[in-house]
Amino acid sequence: MCAAEADVFVVFGITGDLAKEMTFRSLYRLERRGLLGCPIVGVAVDDWSPAALRRHMRDAIRAGGERVESKTFDALAGRLSYVQGDFDDSATYERVGAAIEKAKRPLFYLETPPSLFGRVVSGIAGAGLTEHARVVVEKPFGHDLASARALAADLHRSVREEQIFRVDHYLGKLGLEELLYLRFANTMLESVWNRDHVACIQITMAESFGVEDRGRFYDAVGALRDVVVNHLLQLLAAATMDAPKDGDSLDAARHRLFQAVATADPSRYVRGQYSGYRSTKGVAARSTTETYAALDLRIDNDRWRDVPVHIRAGKHLRMTQTELRFILRAPPPPSFLSRRNQPEANELVLRIDPHTGLRLILEAHRADASGPEPINLDMEFARQGGEGPTPYEVLFHAALTGDTEFFTHQDTVEEAWRIVQPLLDHAPQTHSYRKGSWGPAAARELAKPHGGWRPLWTE
């Protein structure tokens, strides 16, 4: 679903952390690929000279691991201008209006805390800049169902829902796109992708680092809100939704899947906090915020009824790796094999991070074993198709060209909050866990009935 290309890209909060870590690097990579075709206007309260902003941009691109080629950098810097101003001051938006001159289809990207979304959007609307505009906003979209609705109502005072592009950078990840292709372009896989063949689904997002300098932000949020209600539910949707019906968007298909997910059960929810978390700068001395969350979900539809979904995410775990694992049902015992030599269930693993890969665990007859033994069929996507674009490259390009498929709409956001709301309302106590471990022991119980959490691909 593509609309006309944006004719200016306005970034509110261009001097902030997200711009430093993600935005400049992604813009640079888009420039290098010849995919940027409009001016870029940065807006922030800091009193920076254009030269200082350019220097900052160069450092940020380099720190992101890119080799800075002058031709590409100069082309990008040539697009960039800066408007200094307080987001509370209507004169700032007048200056933005003057800076974007005759642009008809501006793309406004709000890299600001969500508490400023309403103010900024009403500022640009007040300056008469929103008629054909798109507005891109970053998560978090509220901290529960009620606040997500209030945030949307605030935005809807100034712009229509179809003008809002909500970023969940997981939707820009190559792995999620691979997943859709694997599922819907392969008869062999699609035919086993259901409750008749799948015994359970495990999703793990493990990070070997802590909250570092994000203590103030993180302590008010916790793992469930930071990565589960958004990133991991999006991964679950890509893994389990039905193919979009004719004329339907991917988001409509994701929304339909979320509608089928039963509201989560707090007695199947384990929260953990790594030891030492409370001494992080910005974290309350007696904080009970979870840095680890494990939960079970059920999808009540014909495809998945009674197939448990186990999800876990945590910081300071043993390694950094995100994967989705389908554990298939065990085959009926083959009569030609002795009782001691029964085959194990097959597994299909899609690794999302740090590199996308696909592993199929099959049973085979090996010369060095007496019965069937698991063998791994592994494929690293980068070996076959090269390195893909970064998530923000995908998302910026989609927003610039008006491709809505990579963004989530308000009804999908609300459905995701509906699923986890009981876990917020009846949050169990937080267990402490050791840095570098696999989280609290209590989380092992969740997956126990289905053979426990499987070791990750590279574990």
Q: Which residues are catalytic?
A: 231
State how beta strands 357-365 and 372-380 pair: antiparallel
Least distance between ligand BG6 and beta carbon 53 (Å)? 25
Strand partners, 98: none
Could you write out the three-class secondary structure of 327-370? EECCCCCCCCCCHHHCCCCCEEEEEEECCCEEEEEEEEECCCCC
Among residues 166 and 169, whose Cβ is nearest to ligand BG6?
169
Among residues 111 and 226, whose Cβ is nearest to ligand BG6?
226
Type of residue at 166: R
Least distance between ligand BG6 and beta carbon 134 (Å)? 21
Q: Is 226 in the site for ligand BG6 (CB under 6 A)?
A: yes
Options 124, 227, 260, 345; binder of ligand BG6; rule CB under 6 A: 227
Q: For residues 331-350, which are near ligand BG6 according to CB under 6 A?
A: none
Nearest in space to 8 (alpha carbons), one of 100, 87, 83:
100
> Which long-range CB contacts under 8 A does 361-364 form with residues at least 24 apart?
363/331
Q: How far apart are CA 207 and CA 279, in angstroms?
A: 19
Among residues 83 and 227, whose Cβ is nearest to ligand BG6?
227
Least distance between ligand BG6 and beta carbon 364 (Å)? 33
Q: For residues 150-209, which are near ligand BG6 according to CB under 6 A?
A: 169, 207
Least distance between ligand BG6 and beta carbon 391 (Å)? 6
Q: How far apart are CA 147 and CA 141, in angstroms?
A: 8
Among residues 191 and 320, whose Cβ is nearest to ligand BG6?
320
Least distance between ligand BG6 and beta carbon 3 (Å)? 27
Q: How far apart are CA 50 and CA 162, in angstroms?
A: 34
Which contiguous run of DSSP H or E holds residue 376? strand 372-380
Q: How far apart are CA 343 and CA 365, in angstroms?
A: 10
Q: Contact, 13 vs 44, CB < 8 A? A: yes
Among residues 134 and 351, whose Cβ is nearest to ligand BG6?
351
Nearest in space to 46 (alpha carbons), one of 97, 91, 99, 86:
86
Least distance between ligand BG6 and beta carbon 352 (Å)? 8
Among residues 313 and 348, whose Cβ is nearest to ligand BG6?
313
- Strands ordered across the beta sheet of 357-365: 372-380, 357-365, 347-353, 321-328, 198-206, 309-314, 292-297, 269-274, 430-433
Q: Which residue has the tokens 């939704």?
A: 241
Cis peptide before 244 (omega within 30 of 0): no
Helix 145-156 vs helix 410-425: crossing angle, to nearest 10: 150
Size of site (CB under 6 A) for ligand BG6: 5
Among residues 92 and 291, whose Cβ is nearest to ligand BG6?
291
Q: Is 7 in the site for ligand BG6 (CB under 6 A)?
A: no
Residue with the shortest CB distance to ligand BG6: 226
Nearest in space to 107 (alpha carbons), one of 79, 133, 143:
133
Least distance between ligand BG6 and beta carbon 393 (Å)? 13
Q: Is 94 in the site for ligand BG6 (CB under 6 A)?
A: no
Options 353, 373, 403, 411; binder of ligand BG6; rule CB under 6 A: 353
Where on the chain is the footprint of ligand BG6 (CB under 6 A)?
Answer: 169, 207, 226-227, 353
